[in-house]
Chain A
Amino acid sequence: MKILVCIKQVPQKDAPLKLNDSATWIRDDVSWEVNEPDAYALEEALRQKEKHGGEVIVLTAGPARAQQVLREALAKGATGAIHLEDEKFVHLDSANTARAIAASIEGENFDLIVTGLQSDDYGAAQTGVLLAEILGIPHATIIIGIEKTDTGLHLKRELEAGHYQYIDLPTPAVLTIQSGINKLRYATLIGIKQAKTKPVRKVAWAEVEGRLSKNLQQIERLYIPHKQKQTRLIDGPPAEAAKKLVEYLRNDARVI
């Protein structure tokens, strides 16, 4: 199988975030890491390659710093990488990101495209789905199990409330992968050395710009939530007060 894994570089989970000057996104001087669900997508792709052979190409869109996540993926065993390298890719909405990815992989004929079900920063959970739409191939989301069959793929999806769904898809297809479905491997030190020798294809902004539209989604303003503390005293006999409290927690605070 020829598998494409789309991974994103996101701020480290416990990195202290600061707003940028225009308060439209965060400042760039944080530590970065691979988006967690994407790491599981990569792991799943590497396991499929080990079972069935083929290649695993990783793709990311972002400035030079995003190369880090490609290097890490190559060190773990990916066979090649595609880097859509420009700061401008960071500010695309999901639809345009999908368009850019689709444009950059024309003629590559992947059997399978996997990516995390959402990103830890924007969290839109749209890029994979939209990519499938643009490529005109089927997709399935929240995948927790992949089995290759003679006709395509047998998949397990996670639904709500502990329910699962089993479906079959023909290939090529796009799958968005749930976190935690496998155990992530470490990059070996030898793998880190070998990563240097693996091919990384760079795609410039100009090569895909013509395929993009205006961002339909735009961040107007980001702000740190204002901390406030309110105390409300509930009067009355305990039984009544408890009732009121439950009512409040359910209807106003909406925490139960």
Chain B
Amino acid sequence: MAFKFKGVDFIGFDRLLSDDERLSRDTARQFIEDNLIPIIEECNREGRFPRELVPQMGQLGFFGANLHGYGCAGMSNVEYGLVMQEFERGDSGVRSFVSVQSALVMYPIYTFGSAEQKDEWLPKLATGEKLGCFGLTEPDFGSNPGGMRTRAEKSGDEYILNGEKMWITSGTIADVAVIWAKVKEDGEETGDGLVRGFLVETGRPGFTAFDVHGKWSLRASVTSGLSLQDVRIPAKNLLPGTGGLKSPLMCLNQARYGISWGAIGAAMSCYDTALQYSLLRKQFRDEPIAGHQLVQEKLTWMISEITKAQLLALQVGRLKDEGRVGHEHISMAKRNNVWMALECARLARDILGGNGITDDYPVMRHMMNLESVKTYEGTHDIHTLIIGQSLTGIPAY
């Protein structure tokens, strides 16, 4: 019943893109159209992650696409962003899975890992042979990760990890978890210790993962809790380049950047559905509701916000490619674009009327997904404060 996606480009945005950028986007769009769209409503209904797509995603180079070497595609950040847009046009949950694998697992290994860790993990993560998850958030520490209770303790040539992690995408299907824990240096008696990252193979004794049930959002991806009870890992599993909360926040910046593009995809799906629906649905005088002023106002709002979001994401992407992006820029793109996408989903739902609440159309699914996207990777409000701090120099958390 849903309509075939026709693409969204109001101001000739595509002309701002290079051939490679368009081609990357089109490859992802075709892949999603052929492979995800036909099954996504069923996955969402059943709460099933479409794992069968993972090998092909790996083969096409979607994992760690903006990393270089180790079998990764070496895409620019704009190309990577456009791929994220197409994935989330399909589904935020599936895009989240790719984001986690790429930005929160492969990126920290790539950035903070030893040569041995990179050689061991990156090629297998790039093909999708191995999957990863990222454990930062805890049941009691979301927006304030610095308060984490998870601890790592050095014991000979091992670390012993204890703690609980929550809201972990891919937790129960991961082969390796990037776990963030506080660790005291040798001889350090007082203080809290420094936040550092550890690679924890999920088969180690004391490591358990359980799925979060009853989700009304991101139902096509796996969300888990992790429990670490005296999990012993070799000291070489420490990500040597990590040191302080800045390290996981660098990972989150990668993921937030991808989200800022992804949200545009979800918004495009909602807008395109609403537009096509409004042209077909007839009401009063047997005329399409697209001819109603209030419907046109909604469509106009959506296309205006989508267009502004595209330009914002593109400029942040260009800055990132030049190495000149600030975390506050990424915060603005994430905050604005997810907000506008959620508003688009709600407006689209209005236009679809009663039909908007069923999964004959993708709108309600996107809306429910975006409630999570608005919250994770820095809530909307936290990003407000990040931007506020960058403007005033005063932290207001």
Contacts and interface: CB of A to CB of B under 8 A. Distances in A.
Interface string A177-196: 00000000011111111011
Interface string A6-43: 00000000100000000000000101000000000000
Interface string A154-198: 000000000000000000000000000000001111111101100
Among B14, B23, B30, B79, the one with the most A-chain Cβ atoms within 10 Å of its Cβ is B23
A72 interface: yes
Given A31-B7, A68-B19, A189 B24 contact: yes
Contacts of A191: 61
Interface in B51-84: 59-62, 65, 73-75, 79, 83
Contacts of B6: 14
A192 B14 contact: no
Interface string A69-81: 0011001000000
B73 A68 contact: no
B75 A193 contact: yes
Nearest to B14: A31
B75 A189 contact: yes
Per DSSP, are chain A's interface residues mostly helix, strand or loop, or mixed? Answer: helix
Contacts of B62: 189
A67 interface: yes
Contact of A186 (B14, B27, B74, B75): B27
**Interchain residue pairs A-B with the least CB separation, the first 9:** A189-B61, A189-B73, A190-B73, A190-B61, A187-B27, A188-B60, A188-B61, A71-B19, A186-B27
Interface of B: 6-7, 12, 14, 19-20, 22-24, 27, 30-31, 59-62, 65, 73-75, 79, 83
A5 to B, nearest CB: 18
Contact of B73 (A29, A31, A67, A192): A192
Nearest to B15: A29
A68 B22 contact: yes
B80 to A, nearest CB: 9
Interface string A103-116: 00000000000000
Interface of A: 14, 29, 31, 67-68, 71-72, 75, 186-193, 195-196
B257 to A, nearest CB: 17
Among A29, A68, A189, A195, the one with the most B-chain Cβ atoms within 10 Å of its Cβ is A189
Contacts of B23: 68, 71-72, 75, 187, 192
A186 B73 contact: no
Given A68-B22, A189-B24, 13 more contacts: A29-B12, A67-B19, A68-B23, A71-B23, A186-B60, A188-B27, A188-B60, A189-B79, A190-B73, A192-B23, A192-B27, A193-B73, A196-B20
A192 B61 CA distance: 10
Contacts of A71: 19-20, 23
A72 B83 CA distance: 16
B326 to A, nearest CB: 27
B359 to A, nearest CB: 25
A29 B12 CA distance: 9
A14 B7 CA distance: 11
B31 A186 contact: yes
A182 to B, nearest CB: 15
A191 B23 CA distance: 11
A71 B22 CA distance: 11
B286 to A, nearest CB: 16
Given A68-B19, A71-B20, A189 B60 contact: yes
B39 to A, nearest CB: 17
Contacts of A193: 20, 73-75
B30 A192 contact: no
A78 to B, nearest CB: 13
Contacts of B60: 186, 188-189
B19 A189 contact: no
Contacts of A189: 24, 27, 60-62, 65, 73, 75, 79, 83
A68 B31 CA distance: 19
A190 B73 CA distance: 4
A188 B19 contact: no
A31 B27 CA distance: 15
Among B59, B61, B79, the one with the most A-chain Cβ atoms within 10 Å of its Cβ is B61
A239 B79 CA distance: 65
A67 B30 CA distance: 20
A33 to B, nearest CB: 9
Given A14-B6, A67-B19, A188 B59 contact: yes
19 contacts: A68-B19, A68-B22, A68-B23, A71-B19, A71-B23, A72-B23, A75-B23, A186-B60, A187-B23, A188-B60, A189-B27, A189-B61, A190-B61, A190-B73, A190-B74, A192-B27, A192-B75, A192-B79, A193-B74
Among A14, A188, A190, the one with the most B-chain Cβ atoms within 10 Å of its Cβ is A190
B234 to A, nearest CB: 32
